[in-house]
A and B are shown apart, each in its own frame.
Chain A
């Protein structure tokens, strides 16, 4: 077994920063209204002297201007769940620990490559999503968790070396039960190495079974006892905007983030999305922007482009307070195969993606194909369909067809061919009885025109032999 631990030390702060990239000092505060204290601070704020645990009033005395936002414990949980779903891509066994995600990777390395490679993949993924992280690997989940807390990038790949790696870990960072890690340094036991050498019997009498269980889990003597994470079956991401937004361009940045998150999440579960809703929340009521695709997709760029196309057509009735992306329809995703001898250029956009792009801007019905029907009346002989029986019409047909016949103006045309009599449609009341001719107008246009049977007058234009 090999467990990777991704420790997320600034989950709450990163969740805020990624929807509001700012260089200025920013802190998250919690506590009662009259005794707020700082629970997280970004680098600029820490440089200015603010620190975690400080009273908000003390911080305000220290620094004149900084942003203080409320700390939301439920958002921490939500982001952790989201990142676990993303990590699900790398392992089928993902578990949650406080501020951390652990995943079993011994079998994943067959697919993703040896640990250094997998580690850089994980770093890339979490870095791209905008979350600060520390990564380590160890033969047990709890040891990986402890090592990640001590230093970034530690990897213990063989079980034999695990005890050695744990030797120097100070007890304050060992994540053992609080009573033990507080009392033991007073007895001269300062590192895990010293603790592991103590007789178990005495430890049990002094601190009880929980400490021994924690030590066994650390060294792998006992199973980790963690519940596996199961990715949810629907995607629901809500971003509260920091101010009321009245114009659409200001929504583009959060939408790009949300669609990128959706794509990462879909990759984690190896699925695609066919339909999703972008909900713009107002002070009163919501505006739903449904986004539909012709086939399941999961490419971040494409999802963003389609969502933006739909969003640009929306008229905002009221300022937007929050954005929510809901995806329930998550079918299996089949990547488009490409032929080895494909004649398209290497960077070609697939035709499906082109269609989506056109539909997103021009409307759902903007892209279509025409096929023939079995009706002999020219007005009804073709319809919007992707099927085509390929039956060939024996009589000449024009290349352009007018929506409906119009009178042919100007001088009497010269008849080049005809007539072809069409006498049909008696079964549904739309009866036609016409003589069609190929005629040439004085301007040299070749027209498909008809007149009443037997007459050579009152020409009606129905198409062009363009």
Chain B
């Protein structure tokens, strides 16, 4: 056997590659929900990445989940974009949550153009956050969105039906909303951290 070589010399000569998980920047995009921030590895929404929100039905608090972050971003330099929302956003309601509606662009697109429009907005780099409700989005399409969000440094939110939970997704974060018996959020996937075993209960305000 050859002579014993001290490891440090190998390390100094960069002959040994030391694997280490990419560090996750924390606290850049707080969700505004302290309980949720506490369990997410990035301390909030993953910056410049796709977050997938899976719902059983419309109207179970999916917007309240993102509205604190949107309200904060709407006072920043870049506008927000909603791509084909399922209903019209109620201006008075959004304003009560602190969103500046002058900074919210709404894009209507046919079903086949939704993913294209979302990708364009993300890739442009001039949007702070892009929300979309795609119906047909496969693994490849979501990966494109993830890459676009990364290159455009934007938050991407894809709201989808809960039945897609079984399909793999390249999103950095997957949340599942539960409405009954009470409003809870399950973290189904989070990049850079361990998926918490317990759901997070969100104290949605009684009136809002």
Chain A residues within 8 Å of B, Cβ to Cβ: 339, 342-345, 347-351, 353-355, 357-358, 361-362, 365-372, 378, 381-382, 386-388, 390, 392-393, 396-403, 416-417, 438, 442-447, 463-466
Q: Which single residue of chain A is at the shortest CB-CB distance from B97? A: A399
Please state if A392 and B96 are interface contacts (CB–CB under 8 Å): yes
Which of A362, A371, A396, A465 lies in contact with B101, CB distance below 8 A?
A371
Please state if B59 and A351 are interface contacts (CB–CB under 8 Å): no
Beyond A371-B91, A416-B207, A465-B61: 13 further Cβ-contacts under 8 Å? A362-B117, A367-B106, A372-B91, A382-B91, A386-B102, A400-B93, A403-B88, A443-B57, A444-B179, A445-B60, A447-B59, A463-B90, A463-B93
Q: Which single residue of chain A is at the shortest CB-CB distance from B56? A: A443
Q: Which single residue of chain A is at the shortest CB-CB distance from B79? A: A351
Docked complex: B63-111 residues within 8 A CB-CB of A: 63-64, 67, 76-79, 85-97, 100-102, 104-110
Q: Which single residue of chain B is at the shortest CB-CB distance from A349? A: B124
Chain B residues within 8 Å of A, Cβ to Cβ: 56-64, 67, 76-79, 85-97, 100-102, 104-110, 113, 116-117, 120-121, 123-127, 151-153, 179-183, 204, 206-208
Most buried by B among A348, A392, A393, A466: A466
Q: Shortest distance in angstroms between B93's beta carbon and chain A's nearest beta carbon? A: 4
Q: Which single residue of chain B is at the shortest CB-CB distance from A350? A: B126
CB within 8 Å for A370 and B206 given contacts A344-B78, A354-B120, A445-B59: no
Whole-angstrom distance between the alpha carbons of A417 and B85 in the complex? Answer: 26
Q: Shortest distance in angstroms between A34's beta carbon and chain B's nearest beta carbon? A: 58
Please state if A362 and B109 are interface contacts (CB–CB under 8 Å): yes
- Could you say which residues of chain B place their CB within 8 Å of the CB of A361? 113, 116-117
**When A and B form their complex, what is the total count of cross-chain residue pairs whose Cβ atoms lie within 8 Å?**
183
Whole-angstrom distance between the alpha carbons of A362 and B111 in the complex? Answer: 11
Q: Shortest distance in angstroms between B58's beta carbon and chain A's nearest beta carbon? A: 6
Which of B86, B92, B124 lies in contact with A381, CB distance below 8 A?
B92
Please state if A445 and B64 are interface contacts (CB–CB under 8 Å): no
Q: Which single residue of chain A is at the shortest CB-CB distance from B116? A: A361
8 pairs across A/B with beta carbons < 8 Å? Answer: A345-B125, A351-B79, A357-B120, A358-B121, A382-B91, A400-B58, A444-B60, A444-B180
- Could you say which residues of chain A place their CB within 8 Å of the CB of B88? 370, 382, 400-403
Please state if B106 and A354 are interface contacts (CB–CB under 8 Å): no
Please state if B59 and A446 are interface contacts (CB–CB under 8 Å): yes
Q: Which single residue of chain A is at the shortest CB-CB distance from B87? A: A400
Please state if B108 and A366 are interface contacts (CB–CB under 8 Å): yes
Q: Which single residue of chain A is at the shortest CB-CB distance from B152? A: A345
- Could you say which residues of chain A place their CB within 8 Å of the CB of B101? 369-372, 388
Please state if A358 and B117 are interface contacts (CB–CB under 8 Å): yes
Q: Which single residue of chain B is at the shortest CB-CB distance from A352? A: B126
Q: Shortest distance in angstroms between A459's beta carbon and chain B's nearest beta carbon? A: 14
Whole-angstrom distance between the alpha carbons of A355 and B105 in the complex? Answer: 9
Please state if A399 and B64 are interface contacts (CB–CB under 8 Å): yes
Whole-angstrom distance between the alpha carbons of A295 and B145 in the complex? Answer: 29
Whole-angstrom distance between the alpha carbons of A417 and B204 in the complex? Answer: 14
Please state if B59 and A400 are interface contacts (CB–CB under 8 Å): yes
Please state if A348 and B152 are interface contacts (CB–CB under 8 Å): yes
Whole-angstrom distance between the alpha carbons of A347 and B123 in the complex? Answer: 10
Please state if A444 and B183 are interface contacts (CB–CB under 8 Å): yes
Q: Which single residue of chain B is at the shortest CB-CB distance from A339? A: B77
CB within 8 Å for A344 and B113 given contacts A382-B90, A388-B91: no
Please state if A354 and B60 are interface contacts (CB–CB under 8 Å): no
Q: Shortest distance in angstroms between A4's beta carbon and chain B's nearest beta carbon? A: 40
- Could you say which residues of chain A place their CB within 8 Å of the CB of B67? 399
Please state if A464 and B59 are interface contacts (CB–CB under 8 Å): yes
Whole-angstrom distance between the alpha carbons of A390 and B96 in the complex? Answer: 10
Q: Shortest distance in angstroms between B158's beta carbon and chain A's nearest beta carbon? A: 15
Q: Which 4 A-B pairs have the closest CB atoms?
A: A444-B179, A464-B59, A348-B125, A397-B93
Q: Shortest distance in angstroms between B99's beta carbon and chain A's nearest beta carbon? A: 9
Q: Shortest distance in angstroms between A231's beta carbon and chain B's nearest beta carbon? A: 33
Whole-angstrom distance between the alpha carbons of A361 and B96 in the complex? Answer: 34
- Could you say which residues of chain A place their CB within 8 Å of the CB of B206? 416-417
Q: Which single residue of chain B is at the shortest CB-CB distance from A353? A: B124
CB within 8 Å for A354 and B93 given contacts A444-B180, A444-B183, A445-B57: no
Q: Shortest distance in angstroms between B112's beta carbon and chain A's nearest beta carbon? A: 11
Which of B57, B113, B124 lies in contact with A348, CB distance below 8 A?
B124
Q: Shortest distance in angstroms between B83's beta carbon and chain A's nearest beta carbon? A: 9
Whole-angstrom distance between the alpha carbons of A424 and B157 in the complex? Answer: 38
- Could you say which residues of chain A place their CB within 8 Å of the CB of B77? 339, 342-344
Please state if B179 and A368 are interface contacts (CB–CB under 8 Å): no
Q: Which single residue of chain A is at the shortest CB-CB distance from B151? A: A345
